[in-house]
């Protein structure tokens, strides 16, 4: 496909090649000497490109935004979900070289260049998303160096599939660390929940977003972050009040979850996204790869316990198979777009999880109550433990 008109600000031609043989022609921005290889997916959010690009759950993927105008508010030092760009590359209809925001310190192109990542604009993103929705997400390559479309298509077909791929080792911390929140200048704190003693949370980092840590801290939690390879005894040695399982990239079915299985009955546990899938696997359910996943900030979810509808922020390409859920698991949330599992809880243990992001950065705050629910579960578990002692 030829680049869309009118002409774009960047003049370096670039190609997007898909494994199904399709070629999209556009213009490169960011690091034009770099190439992007990975699974091509799409996000329907109208804002939050910095948070998405730095979200470790996008590791190994090339991110397409359906919103046509990207880059207009630049990049700032505070909104990143990790310390670097995690997505392999970026696809947009139109990149805005001019940006305007009092918080911005550089352009999106400068951010990409800083992290040696390439973006491509001038793509008909509507046509691309129709292909991904009808055929499913697929492997692809962005390049401004390789001029031979057939060579890029062949290379894309040889990329590893996301099925069977454990990517958590690339995004998890290497050593445990105590989270310390750094307040942004001129922005009011969101702390709103205070306890006589801080609750100790052991967070297993499969690719955790910083805003999840900030939200837990705002509810009065002390958070020790552990690598994805943590052993159960390391968690026990910290003596937490609760255990949190984070979001992350890749296929949940190949992640080592031995530590999670060992501590299932010991503490309250809360999981988000990959953590939700890992909890399901640890309890005996199965996961599967979705056709094109859920990625955006406007996904409707029904809370089956209250009957309310929550508008949620989501980013996942795998899901729990509802038919495989054992009797001790109770379905609590469903995605109203396709009725897939969006949340469950254990019927007798203080364990629950959701397949979306209640910290919602960006997104609505409809599901923030889940952090309070986790806190209340920890407080109750501590009360019972003290009473027994």
The catalytic residues are 273, 357, 359
DSSP string, 113-181: HHTT-EEEES--HHHHHHHHHHH--EEEEEESS---HHHHHHHHHTSPPSTT---HHHHS-SS-EE---
Angstrom CA distances, 251 to 106, 168, 210, 212, 280, stand at 34, 9, 22, 21, 13
Angstrom CA distances, 21 to 18, 24, 261, 266, 267, stand at 6, 10, 43, 51, 50
Peptide bond into 362 cis (omega under 30): yes
- What whole-number distance in Å separates Cα of residue 334 and Cα of residue 103? 37
The dihedral of CA 251, 63, 59, 72: what is its sign?
negative
Q: Could you identify the residue written with the tokens 């955006």?
A: 296
- What whole-number distance in Å separates Cα of residue 195 and Cα of residue 214? 16
User: Among 224, 348, 234, which residue's Cα sits nearest to residue 283?
Assistant: 348
Kindly state the helix (H) or strand (E) to which residue 380 belongs, with its residue range.
Answer: helix 369-388
- What whole-number distance in Å separates Cα of residue 328 and Cα of residue 272? 19
Q: Could you identify the residue written with the tokens 């995605």?
A: 335
């Amino acid at each position: 496909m030829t680049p869309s008109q009118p002409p774009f600000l960047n003049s370096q031609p670039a190609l997007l090649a898909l494994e199904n043989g399709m070629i999209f022609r556009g213009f490169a921005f960011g690091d034009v000497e770099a190439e992007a290889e990975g699974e091509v997916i799409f996000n329907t959010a109208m804002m939050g490109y910095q948070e998405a690009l730095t979200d470790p759950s996008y590791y190994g993927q090339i991110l397409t935004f359906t919103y046509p105008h990207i880059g207009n508010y630049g990049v700032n030092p505070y909104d990143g979900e990790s310390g670097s760009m995690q997505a392999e590359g970026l696809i947009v209809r139109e990149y805005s070289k001019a940006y305007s925001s009092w918080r911005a310190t550089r352009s999106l192109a400068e951010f990409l260049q800083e992290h040696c990542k390439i973006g491509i604009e001038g793509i008909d993103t509507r046509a691309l998303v129709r292909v991904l929705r009808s055929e499913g997400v697929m492997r692809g390559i962005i390049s401004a160096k390789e001029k031979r479309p057939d060579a890029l298509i062949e290379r894309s077909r040889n990329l590893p599939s996301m099925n069977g791929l454990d990517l958590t080792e690339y995004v998890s911390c290497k050593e445990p660390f105590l989270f310390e929140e750094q307040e942004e200048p001129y922005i009011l704190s969101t702390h709103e929940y205070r306890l006589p003693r801080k609750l100790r949370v052991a967070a297993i980092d499969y690719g955790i977003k910083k805003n999840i840590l900030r939200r837990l801290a705002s509810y009065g939690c002390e958070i020790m972050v552990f690598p994805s390879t943590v052993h159960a005894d390391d968690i026990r040695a910290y003596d937490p009040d609760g255990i949190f399982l984070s979001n992350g990239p890749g296929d949940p079915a190949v992640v080592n979850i031995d530590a999670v299985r060992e501590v299932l009955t010991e503490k309250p546990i809360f999981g988000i996204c990959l953590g939700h899938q890992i909890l399901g696997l640890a309890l005996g359910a199965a996961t599967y790869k979705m056709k094109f996943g859920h990625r955006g900030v406007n996904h409707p979810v029904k809370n089956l316990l209250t009957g309310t509808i929550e508008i949620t922020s989501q980013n996942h390409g795998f899901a729990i198979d509802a038919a495989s859920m054992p009797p001790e698991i109770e379905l609590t949330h469903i995605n109203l777009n396709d009725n897939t599992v969006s949340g469950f809880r254990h019927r007798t243990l203080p364990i629950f999880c959701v397949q979306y992001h209640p910290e919602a950065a960006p997104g609505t705050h409809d599901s923030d109550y889940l952090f309070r629910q986790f806190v209340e579960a920890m407080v109750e578990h501590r009360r019972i433990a003290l009473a027994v002692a």
